[in-house]
Chains A and B, each alone.
Chain A
């Protein structure tokens, strides 16, 4: 029962062969959403009436192709499933060669299926959700742009192309958070997300530069083959820089503050970008870079600490938020914390991180679509204190949301039970004090998760109605409920399908290695997690189910107040970064105005004043010119004489 890397079979760097057959058309995966974005953005208002249909159809075709490519991959033997498709040479400058290529391997195909599959479902939902929005076409254009960038991110075969996708999803996220940019809160949230992401992106770009400086290449193959020969310091620095990038994109501590504000965007955006796909890019980055992290226990420890801290941080925030979307966003942060924790455990956790990521893609997208459906029917109300009793008027939403709820708190046989418990097990397996602390944190997180999710359920769907007379909620149209039903089925089945028989573990083994130990189900740890979840749910029932929920929030304990304020994350950012930054700016402006401008201006004034005096010599009298010439001539003669002597 050792969790150390030495005991685990390390993930051998996979040899990649050129793509053949149906996989040679893998560029379609990228080209279709790009075409969607281009048609809708360049087509302008002419495409208003049918644009959303194109915006849905192209990603759906992309998904169909992804399924075909997936089955093509399954037909290859396990050691030959990593296929490379060279598209074109991007940068050729001396020793620096970057080609755009696509890497189809078991890891990337998981993401491709998740992105295109869940993405298509959410786009279908959005057809109904955004029906009344005059800018629906622009929304679908941005969503296609996002899908294209996200697919580039996961399909790239080198870090530079990955970075291009990384920035692309950041841009799409910015555009979509600020989609209703006339709302100041949305515009500010978009900027906040962009700036917080920039900090992480700086880490990733520095990491890529370090790779090029050390190894002379940025391709996955080149870097992973060369990383074994690098010094320990370089590998750890690389790991930490990649972790910084992952923290920004995945809203992990200390760059977590943007995710809750990002809920200002339309709900399908929250479901696709800020729950199912983009925020998991950080996990992808770390799992993809597993040969680097395997060599650096320090970097891995940092990843686990970030993950464990964030999973508690997000869960606590989720407990106090009355805004249903923000409560779910806190939950997303917390669940990604689980994935980061797993990814930081090395080969023991990589596959479980991806399993939880895929299952989370289903149930969290389903939960967000449920929240979107509620919000849509409640005239954009998101305060759960004004919901109540919606289970009776929106039965389909209630049941699908309930499936997501059971999945996230880990009730068997729903997904979360299968995918979350192995992470907790693996954390305990790490051994030593750190393993015990990480495992306990993950276990407590499971209890808190059950508490806040039960709270959301009771406040939204149970109890007496607390909404206005003017609001008349009823079930959403089929175009919105059908994706929710599909996602609910996914929340029920995905986890078990992936984990039972080690299906995903074996599938991913060529890329990330295999966990050193394998547990069955219903171990003491999973029993403990289940018991804690039931306790958490029971407390939530006692607080929000048995008692009437007040419409205005009570003052609450200091912990509640802190959690409502997102554990002072924003206050810390403001006092540590923003205010000193503002002072620095003011100081620079003052120095620029008084110092540099003063110097330049006084020099100019001195020149001007001198010229004003000197020009008086030109007085227009010929005789004074003549006199000057005489003196000049005298001076010259005198000088010549002086030189001769």
Chain B
């Protein structure tokens, strides 16, 4: 029997993988993918809790998260493309003009 605890555990694992990916990778696209992974881990947790509590609130929020994530990807990829055009690089360490 698959209990909600299993779903939550999976969500945590996915979230940590995504988080580590954001922290350690330099390629902006990979970082984006990691962010998506974190968002979907949270979605998984929402749906699991929704199921557990027997109401639809969590599922509605999961949809919201998906919509926001889609919008964010659109804007983020547009920025990334323009940075790549300017610098010929997708590495986040190269875009470091805003510092002390």
Contacts and interface: CB of A to CB of B under 8 A. Distances in A.
Contact of A618 (B23, B93, B100): B100
Secondary structure at the B interface, as helix, strand, loop or mixed, is: loop
A616 B93 CA distance: 16
Nearest to B31: A622
B95 to A, nearest CB: 8
Interface stretch (A10-18, A186-194, A565-573, A623-631): A623-631
B92 interface: yes
B98 interface: yes
B88 interface: no
B23 A620 contact: no
A623 B100 contact: no
Contacts of A470: none
B98 A620 contact: yes
A626 B22 contact: yes
B96 interface: yes
B22 A620 contact: no
Nearest to B26: A623
A627 B100 contact: no
A197 to B, nearest CB: 62
Contacts of B100: 615-620
B97 interface: yes
Contacts of B31: 622
B19 A623 contact: no
A621 interface: yes
Given A615-B100, A616-B100, A621 B93 contact: yes
B96 A621 contact: yes
A623 B99 contact: no
Interface residues of A, number: 12
A297 B55 CA distance: 103
Contacts of B92: 621-623
A620 to B, nearest CB: 3
Nearest to B94: A620
B97 A630 contact: no
Contacts of A630: 19, 23
Contacts of B98: 618, 620
Secondary structure type dominating chain A contacts: helix
B24 interface: yes
Interface residues of B, number: 14
B97 A620 contact: yes
Nearest to A630: B19
A623 B22 contact: yes
Nearest to A629: B22
Contacts of B19: 630
Interface in A596-625: 615-623
Interface string B73-100: 0000000000000000000110111111
Contacts of A618: 98-100
Interface string A165-209: 000000000000000000000000000000000000000000000
A623 B96 CA distance: 11
Contacts of B97: 620
A179 B63 CA distance: 93
A617 B98 CA distance: 12
Candidate in B92, B96, B100 with the most chain A CB atoms within 10 angstroms: B100
A221 to B, nearest CB: 76
A616 B99 CA distance: 8
B11 to A, nearest CB: 16
Nearest to A617: B100
Of A618, A621, A622, the most chain B CB neighbours within 10 A belong to A622
A622 B30 CA distance: 14
Contacts of B95: 622
A614 to B, nearest CB: 9
A620 B24 contact: no
B91 to A, nearest CB: 10
Which among A618, A626, A627 has the greatest number of chain B C-beta atoms within 10 A?
A626
Nearest to B25: A623
Interface in B64-79: none
A627 B23 contact: yes
A621 B96 CA distance: 6
Contacts of B24: 623
Interface in B1-28: 19, 22-24, 26
A114 B55 CA distance: 109
A623 B98 CA distance: 14
Contacts of A626: 22-23
A619 B98 CA distance: 8
A157 B95 CA distance: 83
B24 to A, nearest CB: 7
A387 B21 CA distance: 109
A420 B47 CA distance: 118
A619 B99 contact: yes
Contacts of A621: 92-93, 96
A616 B100 CA distance: 6
A615 B23 CA distance: 21
Nearest to B92: A622
Nearest 6 Cβ contacts at the A-B interface: A620-B96, A620-B99, A622-B92, A615-B100, A618-B100, A618-B99
6 contacts: A619-B96, A620-B99, A621-B92, A622-B93, A622-B95, A626-B23
Interface of A: 615-623, 626-627, 630
Interface of B: 19, 22-24, 26, 31, 92-93, 95-100
Given A617-B100, A622-B95, 7 more contacts: A616-B100, A618-B100, A620-B99, A622-B31, A623-B22, A626-B22, A626-B23
